[in-house]
Amino acid sequence: MRIGLLALPYSMRSALAGLADMFWLANQVITQNPTLNTDLSRETPFYDVKIVTRDGKPVRDVQGRLIESDGAFDDPESFDVIIASGMQLDDQKYPLAKEAAGEAAAWLKEKYSEGSCIAGACAGSFVLAEAGLLNGRACATTWWLFHTFRERYVLAKPEWGKVLVEQDNVVTTGGPLSWVDLVIHLVRLHAGKEIAKLTADMAVADSQPLSQQLYAPGGFLNSRHPLLTKAEHLVRYQNPSITVEALAEALNMTTRTLHRKMMSLNQESPKSFITRVRIETALILLESPLNTISQVASACGYKDETAFRRAFNGVMEMSPGRYREWFNARTERV
């Protein structure tokens, strides 16, 4: 399987090296486990990885070090997957190498039309967006770039908190180290879930990505508009069990108007907004071992603990107990 790693000036060399090493690790797992997915050939490495630059010449990374190249945009070689990874952005959050990013976007668009899967990790997704490959498609971006991404690429559909999103042979991930999740996903997709799990185990990584909402500050998504900030305050501090109708009334508008405004601002319904704010509050309360899950549920406006657990899992993609374990383990490492 041919993998192309896009290298632009000011790319993160660690991401390019990490991607190459993760695919190498997957190759080792495939070779050492001949009984897993016997459809895969072991005669040559399953993943053939090459770094590609515009003209085939080396480029400088974010720290001025050389990134060697294995090929150029105009080479006749085709790729099954092409990955654009993290890079340095300027103060307006554009790729620092604007001209090179534009040329890369055109190349990615051409290769996508030829059948290549196109993937973007962290700021690499900006290049995919410039190529128009995210127009009308669900996608992921790093949480602290979410507002910029959504405002700049209005035809894209970024999903808040998602680490990895795939649609129509386009894959995007969020976070400078999300290339790990990307490789594991691609290995699962093309080599099977058993090989993907072993690759993740060898890398000491989670085989399933964790929500970016674990890392984003509470209220970050609502910080760009006073309506959302006020609505959040009403839910978080005044009445966690507030209904959509009561929230609309408190904001002096109809439920239909509230729905329209929230969909326009955050691409989520008022009901989803209320649930998300409740769960963001729950994250803080769960950090204290003195609070039982039942107490946290009640404090967040849930009369039924089962309903709270269901809502928590729907937002965070893990149970409250699993979150508490994750938080405690992370605290111990710091």
Q: How much is the average pLDDT of 36-64?
A: 95
Helix (H) or strand (E) holding 121: strand 117-121
Distance, CA of 262 to CA of 98 (rounded, Å): 33
CATH 3.40.50.800 fits 2-209, yes or no: no
Q: Where do you find CATH 1.10.10.60 in the chain? A: 217-333
Q: How much is the average pLDDT of 14-31?
A: 96
Closest CA to 239 of 301, 290, 330, 313: 301
What pLDDT score was predicted for residue 333?
Answer: 61
Q: Using one digit for the tens of pLDDT, what is the confidence trace for 210-255? A: 888 888 888 898 888 999 999 999 999 999 999 999 999 999 999 9
**Around 107, how many Cα atoms within 13 Å sit in the side-chain half-sphere?**
27
What pLDDT score was predicted for residue 219?
Answer: 85
pLDDT band at residue 204 under the 50/70/90 scheme: confident
Sign of CA dihedral 291, 294, 300, 306: positive
Reported CATH class of domain 217-333: mainly alpha
The DSSP 8-state label assigned to residue 211 in this structure reads: P
What pLDDT score was predicted for residue 323?
Answer: 94
Distance, CA of 124 to CA of 51 (rounded, Å): 15
Q: How much is the average pLDDT of 289-302?
A: 96
Instruction: Give the amino acid at 178.
Output: S
Q: Which residues pair with 2 in a beta bridge?
A: 48
Tokens 């973007």 — which residue? 120
Q: Where do you find CATH 3.40.50.880 in the chain? A: 2-209
Side-by-side strand order, sheet with 117-121: 71-72, 48-53, 2-6, 81-84, 117-121, 170-173, 164-167
**Around 8, how many Cα atoms within 13 Å sit in the side-chain half-sphere?**
26
CA torsion 190-192-198-202 (nearest 10°) is 10
